[in-house]
């Protein structure tokens, strides 16, 4: 009995250690993922804030060593992707709500669920450790960006720093693979009677497609990392042209993982936004089946467009034409989702509650990122702005403002269900507006910097680029203030303890959403039949 849920057989509350370190309960593990994601995000956010402070003026302000600046760039990217967005959206909300949405008593493999989580702090330890050990003669840490291209990551970093990065990423990758197996098994085999695939909530659809993407893409990254490791440690030549290898092959392997990774981060957010738009428009989602299969289409097409990240490697012009065309095709299912959200709101009884504000901002900002993505899909234009701040602006509109806004939308939407408490609406609203204004001030000017030709990953720049860098740095300050307000409203909610009702979204919402008692009870699953 205790093994199935991690709680005692007679409904006794577990000890602190057993609940938070040995728990197999999907809700507690989801909470651990969210706490871990917030902590990782604070570290990654600090790194990006220091980078923006450095770039506020030409010359050297805070980084005397360019290697250290590039190490911050590298660690920021890896932390935000592997340790903030993925654990929070998939591990956090996925664990918390997928079993509840499909009527399952828990995840299919509760102990593997616990193991998946505890691999992540181990991975984070090795990644952070890499910042404090020698990278190359220029300084400590790995400074080869999150893309880790050889030969900079092989012969260019002779110290042990990158070895620790590889170990950390492999551990994080295995964590995600185990989690993906768990979600696929749970969703396909443990739905309640009558819960067919075509009745499943869209968030569960998003997590299912994401799990398949993880299962297909991450082993390719793991293989590439193992080959990098052997190139570095035992003298193989997979990516060494002098030994008959091909450094461009690493880019193919990396981006075969890297492009589906974008959709791994955004698909759960699509599901969250669908729920919020439906709830606060008081209407069922428009075109439910189209929405579900648009996510499936995005997952499938996302695997055949990877080399649009590689237009500058010297590929054949016909190959460029293929990747250009295939990339534009992804705009179709994405457009279906955007128009379905707009159609859901059309004629609805809309309430602009805080989750709805985050969801509407998500739609607006994701569209901006998508439009610049269509621009970058053109091989000729991409060659002109490749590795400039235009690309940085594009993918941050998709991720910093797509995935992260989806994350905050879900957090404010489900906060009462997860904690049993209501947040202070004024503080949470202040957080939203500071964040919305801040991130737009950070990243919109970077489009202009990119069009002017400012390259990314440079610690210094000519004075001609000063104005928009100053605006961008001012936006970073506003954003960090928003993050501080976020922490304040979360802590305030737990101090004041305003009780959330069973349906705190408002009258009428219960016809559109599944509900569960709030606050959640520790051992509600002890009343359910055991799965042998």
Residues with catalytic function: 76, 106, 146, 175-176, 259, 261, 263, 274, 308-309, 334, 337, 456
H or E segment and range at residue 421? strand 421-422
Cβ neighbours of 342 (radius 10 Å): 12
Closest to 436 measured CA to CA, from 391, 392, 397 = 397
* Distance separating alpha carbons of residues 416 and 430, to the nearest angstrom: 19
Contact 100, 525 (CB under 8 A): no
Lookup: tokens for 530: 């055991």
Contact 261, 217 (CB under 8 A): yes
> How many residues are present in the chain?
532
Contact 122, 51 (CB under 8 A): no
Q: What share of the chain is helix, strand, coil (3-state, %, to 5)?
A: 70, 0, 25
All residues at 6 or more sequence positions from 216 whose CB lies less than 8 Å from its CB, including other chains:
260, 303
* Distance separating alpha carbons of residues 53 and 271, to the nearest angstrom: 35
* Distance separating alpha carbons of residues 314 and 426, to the nearest angstrom: 53
All residues at 6 or more sequence positions from 347 whose CB lies less than 8 Å from its CB, including other chains:
283
* Distances 288 to 103, 195, 224, 292, 334 between C-alpha atoms, Å: 20, 15, 38, 6, 14
E strands, 64-147, where?
134-136, 139-140
Strand, helix or coil at 348? coil
Q: Are strands 498-499 and 134-136 parallel, antiparallel or unpaired?
A: unpaired
* Distance separating alpha carbons of residues 86 and 214, to the nearest angstrom: 10
- Burial environment of residue 205 by CB neighbours within 10 A (0 to 12, 13 to 18, 19 or more): buried
């Amino acid at each position: 009995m205790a093994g199935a849920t991690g709680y005692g057989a007679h409904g006794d509350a577990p000890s602190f250690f057993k609940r938070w370190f040995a728990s197999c309960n999907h809700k507690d593990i989801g909470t651990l993922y969210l706490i871990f994601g917030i902590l990782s995000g604070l570290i990654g956010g600090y790194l990006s804030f220091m980078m923006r402070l450095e770039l506020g003026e030409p010359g050297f302000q805070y980084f005397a060593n360019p290697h250290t600046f590039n190490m911050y760039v590298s660690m920021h990217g890896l932390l935000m992707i592997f340790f903030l967005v993925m654990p929070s959206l998939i591990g956090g909300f996925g664990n918390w709500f997928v079993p509840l949405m499909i009527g399952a008593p828990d995840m299919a493999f509760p102990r593997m669920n616990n193991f998946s989580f505890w691999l992540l702090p181990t991975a984070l330890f090795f990644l952070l450790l890499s910042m404090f050990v020698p990278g190359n003669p220029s300084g400590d840490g790995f400074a080869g960006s999150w893309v880790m291209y050889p030969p900079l990551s092989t012969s260019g970093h002779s110290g042990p720093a990158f070895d620790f990065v590889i170990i950390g990423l492999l551990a994080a990758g295995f964590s995600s693979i185990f989690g993906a197996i768990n979600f696929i098994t749970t969703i396909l085999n443990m739905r309640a009677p009558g819960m067919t695939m075509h009745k499943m909530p869209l968030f569960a659809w998003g997590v299912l497609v994401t799990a398949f993407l993880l299962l297909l893409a991450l082993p390719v990254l793991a293989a590439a990392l193992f080959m990098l490791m052997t190139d570095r440690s035992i003298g193989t030549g997979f990516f060494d042209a002098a030994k008959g290898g091909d450094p461009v092959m690493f880019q193919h392997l990396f981006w075969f993982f890297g492009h589906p990774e974008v959709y791994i981060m955004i698909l759960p957010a699509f599901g969250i936004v669908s729920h919020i738009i439906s709830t606060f428009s008081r209407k069922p989602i428009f075109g439910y089946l189209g929405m579900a299969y648009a996510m499936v289409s995005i997952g499938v097409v996302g695997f055949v467009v990877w080399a649009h990240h590689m237009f500058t490697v010297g590929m054949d012009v016909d190959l460029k034409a293929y990747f250009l065309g295939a990339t534009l095709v992804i705009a179709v299912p994405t457009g279906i989702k955007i128009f379905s959200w707009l159609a859901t709101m059309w004629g609805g009884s809309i309430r602009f509650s805080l989750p709805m504000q985050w969801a509407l901002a998500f739609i607006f900002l994701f569209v901006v990122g998508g439009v610049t993505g269509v621009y970058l899909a053109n091989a000729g234009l991409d060659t002109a702005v490749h590795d400039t701040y235009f690309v940085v602006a594009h993918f941050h509109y998709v991720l910093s403002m797509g995935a992260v806004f989806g994350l905050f939308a879900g957090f404010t939407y489900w906060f009462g269900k997860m904690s049993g408490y209501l947040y202070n609406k004024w503080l949470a609203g202040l957080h939203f507006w500071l964040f919305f204004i801040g991130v737009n001030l950070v990243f919109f000017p970077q489009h202009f910097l990119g069009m002017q030709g400012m390259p990314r990953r440079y610690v210094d720049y000519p004075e001609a680029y000063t104005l928009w860098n100053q605006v961008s740095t001012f936006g970073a300050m506003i954003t960090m203030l928003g993050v501080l307000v976020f922490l304040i409203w979360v802590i305030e909610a737990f101090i004041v303890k305003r009780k959330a009702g069973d349906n705190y979204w408002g009258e009428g919402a219960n016809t559109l959403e599944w509900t569960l008692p709030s606050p959640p009870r520790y051992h509600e699953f002890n009343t359910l039949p055991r799965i042998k």
